[in-house]
Structure 1
Amino acid sequence: MAAFRIARRVLRGSRPVANAEFPCAGTGGQCRRALSTHPDPGDPGTKSAGSRKPQFMDDDVQSVLTRITGLDLEKVFKPVKQQLKPPTYKLMTNEQLEEARCKAVDAAKAYLRMPPVLNEREPINDVLAEDKVLDGLETAKYVFTDITYDIPHRVVFAQDRYEDILDLCLNQFEPDSADYIRVHQQTYEDIDKHGKYDLLRSTRHFGGLVWYLVNRRKIDGLLIDMIQKDLMDDAINVLQLYHRLYPECQSSKEASQQQARGIDLIKIFSHTDSKRGGYIELALQVYQEALNSSANQDLRRNEEQN
């Protein structure tokens, strides 16, 4: 039913479709998250060109952040308040339904396109025009200002509406404005403080959140959350991006010396750079115990069947 609802929404029209980041692949025609063809940033065997620090819009950085963001169609196409219209129903073959599903994935990728991350711009003091004819006509001083913005200077996070706040900020401010940067940073800090990362997962703002935390060296809470949610690949990608930005950190050096990969990267980080190493090690222990328990259950099930 979920696929049918999504197909119906797509056929009724949506936003323009962007280039695919999650292509429909495979003989079965199923749309799934594809692995990137870029080298893993932070892989001990991968070296960045020169000493240039990775930037948010770099292709390999965008590839990592896109994979971590995820693609939850139910969340992307969640219901919004609008005038009710009679639904349109269409009978479809399996092939047509799969084609509609792929269109829904493409539309979702357009929704998930990440806003840019820019440095704050310099104050603008340019004089647009001087008209000597008007000089002296008025003795009062005039101030022209835009009063359409209604975001208060004190950001209040009501009912966990982080996504709504960031969407509103994106519509009202330029990405290099002080207000835009301030609202985003306060939002990210509040999410990290309360561990509510999942509220931005599968939204266009999740990549910016990850980039902010990695740049601030505050990835401990995010790693714990990903491990607990069985998103181990995402946790490893975050740590690889961390090593890409800070190749001289202790965990990056030890990982390179040991040629560590996968979960071993997280173990090294937990006893080197992590500020919450004990919590990360505990999360890893629970994760591995769950894996072992699942493996044992599968083994017993196979033995019973034989």
Structure 2
Amino acid sequence: MAAAAMRSFSVVGLGIHRFLGLTGRCLDVECITSIRRCSNTSYTTYNDVDPAPLFFEGEVQVVLQRVTGMDIDRIFRRRQQEKKSTPPKYQFLTNEEVDEYMSEAREKAESLLQMPPVLKERQPINTILETNTSLQAHHTDKYVFADITFGVSDRNRTILVRETDGTLRSAWWEERDRINQTYNPRPGRNVVMPKLFNEENLKSALGRQEYEFVLDRVCAQCEPDSSVYQRVCVCVYDALDTHHHHNTLYSTRHYGPMCFYLAWNKRIDSLLVSLIQEEKINTASDIVYLYQLIHKDCKSAKLNIEHTQHVEFIKGYIEEDCLQRAQVQLALQCYQDLQHQRQQHQHTVTNAHGL
């Protein structure tokens, strides 16, 4: 520490096991364990492969933004907020002014639809710097040494912990998150992990279909590469997929990451059925295209079919890669029959009017 004389360090000796809520290896053990139990029932993440390079690939981003859509009414719908909402204002506008306001609304909508990054789960920190037995049992509390120099990012901030047995080590991620929040508080983030993320409360929230609320809350509370963030997201995505509630995230910033997760894990069949039943055949074709971008060696990617030929493109996926072939094929057949009936009806109406 003497070598860092030009830097500002803060020493916290407040009984870190109480201040950080630490019991053994992690903070709020009951919460973390509950989240693991919740997600382990169908927990599949990215299999130790970093998904970030593929997620940020240009064509993948274009497809994800396209499938997310931009429903202005849905993006700016009324939400539950702690702050009292201001009453709406009514104005008489010219056509030019309406176009200007709509352009501003679209720009704001694009910022609200910015997707959280999909990253690989961060690796645990187990760096031991020193073991000084002469300090063993000298104190009953642990000490935290935090670099609070202005301009240092929370990610790169030096934070060390002196254990009661004399071990000096780098702070674990859970400790870093709490110390960073103490010195550099971020809006919407708590020092203590919210109880929403324990098993009982999380299942209750998902049972009420509060999917977007849970995802917004975990985005505010956790870093996108933290284990808590990724496990909560998996719980939500699995619940959405199981109950066919994919549409509840449509035109939100979470729809793209959900589609990416399902495509990565080869679980797009249920999503395809939902989209085809909603007659979003273009979006369904884009989901298959996303699947092929992620799994470049899949059989359907080798077929010479353009993804703009929506029905044929989906049929190629059904024949080669689909795991729930009967369900997706039935949904697509119903869609085609409905389109055929509409064409016949339109033809009948046209003939009746002598057109």
Q: Compute the TM-score of the two structures, normalised by the length of structure 1.
A: 0.75
**Does the aligned pair in 2 maintain the 1:249–1:273 contact within 8 Å?**
yes
1:201 to 250, 257, 262: 250
Q: Distance in 2 between matches of 1:272 and 1:85?
A: 54
The 5 A counterparts of 1:154-233 are 154=199, 155-156=202-203, 157-233=206-282
Partner of 1:287: 335
Indicate yes or no: 2:121 matched with 1:123. no
The amino acid of 2:246's aligned partner reads Y
Partner of 1:79: 78
Q: Distance in 1 between matches of 2:234 and 2:86?
A: 39
**Does the aligned pair in 1 maintain the 2:273–2:328 contact within 8 Å?**
yes
The amino acid of 1:232's aligned partner reads I
**Structure with the greater alpha carbon radius of gyration:** 2
Distance 1:119 1:270, change over 3 A: same
Q: Distance in 1 between matches of 2:344 and 2:299?
A: 36
The amino acid of 1:230's aligned partner reads E
The 5 A counterparts of 1:143-154 are 146=178, 147-150=191-194, 151-154=196-199
For each residue in 1:217-261, what CA deviation from the matched residue of structure 2 results, as whole angstroms up to 9, or x when unmatched?
0010011111111111111111112112222222223x23x6784
For each residue in 1:37-93, what CA deviation from the matched residue of structure 2 results, as whole angstroms up to 9, or x when unmatched?
xxxxxxxxxxxxxxx996101111110000000111111111123414343222101
Indicate yes or no: 2:58 matched with 1:93. no
Partner of 2:140: 140
Partner-residue secondary structure (3-state), 1:75: helix
Cα RMSD after superposing both structures: 2.6
Q: Distance in 2 between matches of 1:153 and 1:159?
A: 16
The amino acid of 1:139's aligned partner reads H
Partner-residue secondary structure (3-state), 1:119: coil
Distance 1:186 1:264, change over 3 A: same
**Identical aligned pairs, as a percentage?**
31
Partner-residue secondary structure (3-state), 2:273: helix
Distance 1:216 1:84, change over 3 A: closer
Q: Distance in 1 between matches of 2:273 and 2:115?
A: 24
Q: Which runs of 5+ in 1 are unaligned?
A: 1-51
Distance 1:53 1:294, change over 3 A: same
Partner of 1:62: 61
The 5 A counterparts of 1:31-70 are 55-70=54-69
Distance 1:98 1:153, change over 3 A: same
1:266 to 309, 314, 317: 314
Partner of 2:296: 247
Partner-residue secondary structure (3-state), 2:197: coil
Distance 1:231 1:135, change over 3 A: same
Partner-residue secondary structure (3-state), 2:228: helix
**Does the aligned pair in 1 maintain the 2:272–2:328 contact within 8 Å?**
yes
- Deviation of residue 115 (structure 1)? 0.5
Q: How many residues end up aligned between the 2 structures?
A: 251
Q: Compute the TM-score of the two structures, normalised by the length of structure 2.
A: 0.65
Distance 1:143 1:299, change over 3 A: farther
Indicate yes or no: 2:323 matched with 1:275. yes
Q: Which has the higher strand share?
A: 2
**Does the aligned pair in 1 maintain the 2:262–2:268 contact within 8 Å?**
yes
